[in-house]
Structure 1
Amino acid sequence: MSQDSTKAMIAEVFNDIANGIKSGQFKKKVRIGLTILGSEHGIEEMVKAAELAKSKYGDFDIVLIGPKVEADFEIVEVETAEEGHKKMTAMLESGELDGCVTQHFDFPIGVSTVGKVTTPGKGRDMIIATTTGTTSTNRVEGMVMNAISGISVAKANGIKNPRVGILNLDGARQVERILKEVQDNGYNFEFTQSLRADGGAVMRGNDLLAGTPDVMICDSLTGNLLVKIFSSFTTGGNYETVGAGYGPGIGENYDKLVNIVSRASGAPLIAEALRYCATCAENKVLDIARDEFKKANKAGLKEVIEKTTKKAAKAEVVEEVKMPAKKVVTYSIAGIDILELENACKALWKEDIYSESGMGCTGPIVLVADEDADKAIEILKKAEYMA
């Protein structure tokens, strides 16, 4: 650390003490790093973001990591983006920083970022879990774990009882069944209801625009796309302005607070990302996440995931099942995951109920004759193709 940086840090400490004595409520400001190399908009844009955050909020300290620039901030000098990441990591591990905002950081498997966007329909903040990284190589398991991460970040941002929705993607119904079972076992959280007339915890595009849930569950690739669209749909895509970026990396036992922004992110978004990171640091989001995963595991999270994924793996084995005689099928059964649709039909064929797969406006459906409906639903629930 340079002599100027040391002096700046000492000055900040004395300012904090003076302000604490004056107010009678001494509270040490969190220190949030910002790596300023690597942006597609240049170093000046990153410095502008720090200045914007400081003028708008001012209740946390910002440390710039990059080349020496003319700015009223503590600066830790590095020459490359890679060196910046190494320095950032070392400062987080030593406690010199409470969190950091950066671009293009590689998280280990098991950690993914929880973004925050402002939805255009009603101007609500909505947490998207998750947006970069990979919580699990199994899609369904990953989305379930993302739910716990999203709930953790929501709580760190002042939402005491976050309402959770699951984006209508491949695997969504399996995710819903797992989360409902864990909820029934004692893990306390609340599902939201779609704003569409038929409701339910599985969210549609309308719910994305309106920000129906506090926490929207999806896979990281979809979440990444959503953040990009929400943050830059008014600018043509090359300059992200709205929301707070891709968020902190959260995992069951991850121990460093690193918030991600894109190399296309502009100063207004990065300023909000700094505020987002500071709030997560102040409220100990990583401790909250450890606690939430502990509670979910106590409610059988891992066992329920294993049971569901084993069932899905078993279903991949091709099994010859004789199809019953055809009937006119007009009764539609919703709530089946698209990944299990054909196997659900075969489960009914085994019981001599003719069925066909289809796609309704809300997602996959199984079609049966009206007179077979009740029995078919019973069979599908027993076989755990429906919640």
Structure 2
Amino acid sequence: MSNKINETIKEVFTEMASALETGTLGPRIKIGLTIDGSEHGLTVMQEAVKLAQKNDNFDIVAIGSQVDWPGIENVVTTCEADNYKKMEELLASGYLQGCVTLHYSFPIGVSTVGRVITPGTGKEMLISTTTGTTSSNRNEAMVLNAVNGVAAAKAIGIKQPTVGILNVDGARSVERALKTLKENGYPINFSESHRADGGTVMRGNDLLEGSADVMVCDSLTGNILMKMFSAYTTGGSYEAMGYGYGPGIGDGYENNILIISRASGASVIANAMLYAYELASGDIIAKSQEEYRLAKAAKLKEVCESLQPKQAVAEQAIEMPAKEIVTSDIAGIDVIELDDAVKALWKENIYAESGMGCTGPIVLISEANHDKAVEILKAAEFI
């Protein structure tokens, strides 16, 4: 029997085995990897490919320099810039179902959902987001990042992912916005902080423990977190842990492109290819379209519009009321809105001071004025 016939038989049986395992019949999923540009050279790319080949559920296509790696298809390009063009062509044609690459520029409205292994418990956690810009408005971006993170989680098989909001500037506004979406019918499941006082807003301890399936933050913070989670055991020059910076996701975006860093090591790159395969298997494009459909039905546009900057109360000439002893506090106010919240109470002749509690910014008022102050701040959408 000729070698060609043997290879054909092997391919048929491989496809049959894959169909039995996945429940689908058809060509195997192909995941691309652009192999040029790493700070660690082609050696780390080859090592990553060998690690990824241990998972026999998908084929790997190396895009870039000419290489001769066993079992790997090689699409040769002339330069690093051509790698991106070829990757886009192969994705658009359907030849690739996903691709892992370095430093790709996504359009505004698209950002990436990273995936890490938390050191406190060994639990996996998605960080949404880590590169790209979902919106030029930070708080609006974080609301959209929550939708992106849920889409990624569902695509990799987490049916009801829990969502936490990292305690960065804007967290309380984002929390209110997401809770409004939920009240309007968007099916989001909030996580609970592992700290004693609980709540949806997550602290540093929750990052280490993986208190949520999806941790929502702005992309700059997420990028730093990815680098810390992936390289804290190596000193920083070699990213050794996790799955990389993840897929670009956004409303209407239809490519499964995942980002790694030039400092990413072999295990991270291999995991990124596995992540790409899981996203392709879970149809990330359909999942993200469905999440945005649900969010829009829950008045996503109106919720995001409510997050646009309001005219600062501070611009008005408001006289401070007579000073009182303040022994009661109101939490849940963004630090960037704290002074405006205080002045909103002054405007209603309630003495208030700004402060910082154990869990974040607070407004201090007298016990007698507590309930009325809460009503005023709620009406003004500070809490």
Output the amino acid matched with 2:306.
K
Q: Which of the residues 12, 19, 34 maps onto 1:17?
A: 12
1:27 Cα deviation after fit = 4.6
Give, in whole Å, the separation in 2 of the partners of 1:45 and 1:64. 13
C-alpha contact (below 8 Å) 2:238/2:263 kept by paired residues:
yes
User: Compared with structure 1, are the counterparts of its residues 15 and 327 closer, same or farther at alpha carbon in structure 2 (3 Å cutoff)?
Assistant: farther
Give, in whole Å, the separation in 2 of the partners of 1:380 and 1:13. 71
- Normalized against structure 2, the TM-score is what? 0.95
User: Compared with structure 1, are the counterparts of its residues 331 and 108 closer, same or farther at alpha carbon in structure 2 (3 Å cutoff)?
Assistant: same
C-alpha contact (below 8 Å) 1:112/1:131 kept by paired residues:
yes
Output the amino acid matched with 1:67.
S
C-alpha contact (below 8 Å) 2:313/2:343 kept by paired residues:
no
1:314 Cα deviation after fit = 2.2
Q: CA RMSD in A?
A: 1.8
C-alpha contact (below 8 Å) 2:114/2:247 kept by paired residues:
yes
Is 1:285 paired with 2:280? no
Q: Which of the residues 365, 368, 383 maps onto 1:368?
A: 365
Give, in whole Å, the separation in 2 of the partners of 1:277 and 1:75. 18
- Single out whichever of 81-90 and 140-149 deviates more from structure 2: 81-90
Give, in whole Å, the separation in 1 of the partners of 2:56 and 2:227. 27
1:315 Cα deviation after fit = 2.5
Quote the sequence identity (%).
Answer: 54
C-alpha contact (below 8 Å) 2:313/2:344 kept by paired residues:
no
Give, in whole Å, the separation in 2 of the partners of 1:339 and 1:12. 64
The within-5 A match list for 1:229-248 is 229-248=228-247
Structure 2 match to 1:41 = 40
User: Compared with structure 1, are the counterparts of its residues 378 and 113 closer, same or farther at alpha carbon in structure 2 (3 Å cutoff)?
Assistant: same
Is 1:113 paired with 2:108? no
Give, in whole Å, the separation in 2 of the partners of 1:205 and 1:253. 33
The within-5 A match list for 1:332-343 is 332-343=329-340
Give, in whole Å, the separation in 2 of the partners of 1:111 and 1:13. 41
Give, in whole Å, the separation in 1 of the partners of 2:311 and 2:11. 60
Output the amino acid matched with 2:345.
L
1:13 Cα deviation after fit = 8.2
Structure 2 match to 1:180 = 179
User: Compared with structure 1, are the counterparts of its residues 219 and 328 closer, same or farther at alpha carbon in structure 2 (3 Å cutoff)?
Assistant: same
Give, in whole Å, the separation in 2 of the partners of 1:364 and 1:175. 15
Secondary structure at the counterpart of residue 310 of structure 2: helix
Give, in whole Å, the separation in 2 of the partners of 1:240 and 1:295. 36
- Normalized against structure 1, the TM-score is what? 0.94
Structure 2 match to 1:4 = none
1:377 Cα deviation after fit = 1.1
User: Compared with structure 1, are the counterparts of its residues 69 and 263 closer, same or farther at alpha carbon in structure 2 (3 Å cutoff)?
Assistant: same
Is 1:250 paired with 2:249? yes
Give, in whole Å, the separation in 1 of the partners of 2:18 and 2:93. 30
Give, in whole Å, the separation in 1 of the partners of 2:78 and 2:177. 47
C-alpha contact (below 8 Å) 1:16/1:29 kept by paired residues:
no
Secondary structure at the counterpart of residue 364 of structure 1: strand
Give, in whole Å, the separation in 2 of the partners of 1:214 and 1:13. 43
Give, in whole Å, the separation in 2 of the partners of 1:99 and 1:374. 54
Per-residue CA deviations over 1:324-349 (Å, capped at 9, x if unaligned) read 11111121111011121111111111
Structure 2 match to 1:353 = 350
1:316 Cα deviation after fit = 6.9
Secondary structure at the counterpart of residue 53 of structure 2: helix
Structure 2 match to 1:137 = 136
Give, in whole Å, the separation in 2 of the partners of 1:22 and 1:277. 21
Structure 1 match to 2:380 = 383
C-alpha contact (below 8 Å) 1:356/1:368 kept by paired residues:
yes
Give, in whole Å, the separation in 2 of the partners of 1:24 and 1:174. 47
Secondary structure at the counterpart of residue 65 of structure 1: strand
Output the amino acid matched with 1:368.
I
Q: Which of the residues 64, 67, 71 maps onto 1:66?
A: 64
Give, in whole Å, the separation in 2 of the partners of 1:170 and 1:79. 44
C-alpha contact (below 8 Å) 2:314/2:339 kept by paired residues:
no
1:20 Cα deviation after fit = 3.5
Give, in whole Å, the separation in 2 of the partners of 1:138 and 1:293. 18
Give, in whole Å, the separation in 2 of the partners of 1:323 and 1:11. 87
User: Compared with structure 1, are the counterparts of its residues 217 and 78 closer, same or farther at alpha carbon in structure 2 (3 Å cutoff)?
Assistant: same
1:17 Cα deviation after fit = 2.8
Output the amino acid matched with 1:113.
T
Secondary structure at the counterpart of residue 311 of structure 2: helix
User: Compared with structure 1, are the counterparts of its residues 270 and 185 closer, same or farther at alpha carbon in structure 2 (3 Å cutoff)?
Assistant: same
Give, in whole Å, the separation in 2 of the partners of 1:13 and 1:355. 78
Per-residue CA deviations over 1:168-217 (Å, capped at 9, x if unaligned) read 00000000000000100000011011000110000000000000000000
Number of residue equivalences: 375
Give, in whole Å, the separation in 1 of the partners of 2:291 and 2:194. 28
Unaligned runs of 5+ in 1: 1-7
Output the amino acid matched with 1:171.
G
User: Compared with structure 1, are the counterparts of its residues 157 and 381 closer, same or farther at alpha carbon in structure 2 (3 Å cutoff)?
Assistant: same
Output the amino acid matched with 1:265.
S
Give, in whole Å, the separation in 2 of the partners of 1:287 and 1:75. 29
C-alpha contact (below 8 Å) 1:231/1:240 kept by paired residues:
yes
Output the amino acid matched with 1:58.
D
User: Compared with structure 1, are the counterparts of its residues 369 and 24 closer, same or farther at alpha carbon in structure 2 (3 Å cutoff)?
Assistant: closer
Give, in whole Å, the separation in 2 of the partners of 1:128 and 1:352. 43
